[in-house]
Amino acid sequence: MKLHFFVFIIVLLFSCKKERTLSGLRLEDVEQSVSLESEKSENKNRQNQDCIFDQSTQTDAFLKGIKELEGYTWDDDSKSAEIVLNDHWFLTITRGGCDHFLLSAEFLYDRNLEFEANKAAIFENIIWITSLLKEEFEFESIKSCIEEDKLTFTETDNGFYGNFMDSKIYEMYTFDYRKEKESTVFGISYYLN
DSSP 8-state class, residue 97: -
Q: Which of 10-14, 23-27, 93-97, 165-169 has the lowest mean pLDDT?
A: 10-14
Rounded CA separation 19/79 (Å): 46
Q: Which of 22-36, 102-116, 126-140 has the lowest mean pLDDT?
A: 22-36
Higher pLDDT, 77 or 129: 129
| Its pTM surpasses 0.75 | no
End-to-end CA distance of the chain: 33
Helices 27-50 and 2-15 pack at an angle, to 10 degrees, of 160
171 and 89, same structural domain?
Answer: yes
Sheet bearing 151-156, strands edge to edge: 73-75, 80-84, 89-96, 101-109, 183-192, 173-180, 159-164, 151-156
143 and 105, same structural domain?
Answer: yes
Residue type, 131: S
164 and 117, same structural domain?
Answer: yes
**pLDDT tens readout for residues 16-64:** 544 444 455 555 655 665 555 555 444 444 445 678 877 777 889 899 9
76 and 158, same structural domain?
Answer: yes
65 and 45, same structural domain?
Answer: no
What's CA 160's distance to the chain center, in Å?
23
61 and 29, same structural domain?
Answer: no
116 and 30, same structural domain?
Answer: no
**pLDDT tens readout for residues 169-182:** 988 999 999 999 89
75 and 31, same structural domain?
Answer: no
153 and 103, same structural domain?
Answer: yes
138 Cβ neighbours under 8 A, 6+ residues apart: 130, 168, 169, 172, 173
The parent domain of residue 122 ranges over: 57-192
